[in-house]
């Protein structure tokens, strides 16, 4: 899973201008990453799924404020962190819990921890892709690696566009479920936190 979306600056510029297709590409690239990030901090699959939707609603609403010259990955994770904190402030009165969440976030800002997370994300993501059925895997790879549109994939494989769309949707759902069912990445984060004495 590459750290940055191919042609990201161009897609972000198009998003700022209100291009829905660019928004879809950004969503499909970042939603798994945001889901895992939210899951690590909330420890709740349902909350993490809700946060993903909230992040992209806010991204669309605030799209004109995006600065394409800055790190978008950091920007969208900052939105995620702020939404999680807002939710905690509304529902939790436990100062200890809030402090632990703040500590977790500081640990995630450490470069060495970021590298560990990225490496683990890549490993889990590849495992999830490898588990797909042959047809779904082909559709997923053509979309992600060759950046073909659904129409182009349909023409190459000799199937309908609707079939491609359904298979892509199933593939993304399968990958997301696999990642959410394998929270072992949290062990690496915990170890990094202990090492840096942030917990």
pLDDT at position 127: 78
pLDDT at position 8: 87
Cα separation, 86 vs 88, in Å, equals 5
* Tokens (6 digits) for 29: 């690239």
pLDDT at position 171: 85
pLDDT at position 117: 56
pLDDT at position 19: 92
Could you tell me if 164 and 150 are in contact, meaning their C-beta atoms sit under 8 angstroms apart? yes
* DSSP per-residue letters across 58-121: HHHHTGGG--TTS-HHHHHHHHHHHHHHHHHHHH---HHHHHHHHHHHHHHTSHHHHHHHHHHH
* Tokens (6 digits) for 46: 């349902």
Cα separation, 181 vs 81, in Å, equals 22
pLDDT at position 18: 92
Other beta carbons within 10 Å of 27: 17
Q: What are phi and psi of 7, to 5 degrees?
A: 60, 35
Domains parsed from the chain with CATH numbers = 1-91 (1.10.1740.10), 95-199 (1.10.10.10)
- With CA atoms as reference, report the closest residue to 80 among 120, 135, 33: 33
pLDDT at position 188: 38
Residue with tokens 């990225």: 118
pTM attached to this predicted model: 0.49
For the chain, 199 residues long, give each residue's pLDDT as a single digit of tens: 445 567 888 999 999 999 999 999 999 889 988 998 888 877 788 888 889 999 999 999 999 989 888 888 888 888 988 888 877 665 544 555 555 556 666 655 554 545 555 666 667 767 778 888 888 889 888 887 777 888 999 998 999 999 998 988 888 888 777 766 654 444 333 333 333 332 2
Cα separation, 53 vs 128, in Å, equals 22
pLDDT at position 55: 93
Judged by DSSP in three states, 2 sits in coil
Cα separation, 125 vs 33, in Å, equals 10
pLDDT at position 197: 30
Cα separation, 130 vs 138, in Å, equals 11
Helix%, strand%, coil% for the chain, nearest 5: 80, 0, 20
pLDDT at position 81: 87
Could you tell me if 47 and 132 are in contact, meaning their C-beta atoms sit under 8 angstroms apart? no
């Amino acid at each position: 899973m590459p750290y940055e979306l191919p042609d990201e600056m161009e897609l972000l510029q198009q998003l700022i201008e209100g291009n829905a297709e660019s928004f879809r590409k950004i969503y499909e690239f970042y939603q798994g990453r945001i889901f895992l990030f939210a899951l690590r901090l909330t420890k709740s699959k349902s909350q993490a799924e809700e946060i993903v939707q909230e992040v992209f609603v806010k991204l669309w609403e605030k799209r004109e404020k995006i600065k394409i010259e800055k790190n978008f990955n950091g920007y969208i994770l900052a939105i995620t962190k702020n939404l999680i904190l807002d939710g905690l402030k509304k529902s939790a009165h436990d100062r200890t819990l809030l402090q632990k969440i703040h500590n977790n976030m500081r640990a995630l800002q450490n470069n060495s921890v970021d590298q560990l997370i990225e490496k683990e994300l890549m490993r889990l993501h590849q495992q999830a892709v490898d588990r797909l059925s042959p047809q779904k895997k082909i559709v997923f790879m053509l979309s992600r690696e060759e950046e073909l549109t659904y129409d182009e994939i349909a023409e190459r494989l000799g199937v309908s566009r609707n079939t491609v769309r359904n298979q892509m949707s199933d593939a993304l759902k399968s990958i997301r479920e696999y990642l959410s069912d394998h929270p072992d990445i949290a062990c690496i984060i915990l170890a990094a936190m202990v090492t840096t004495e942030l917990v």
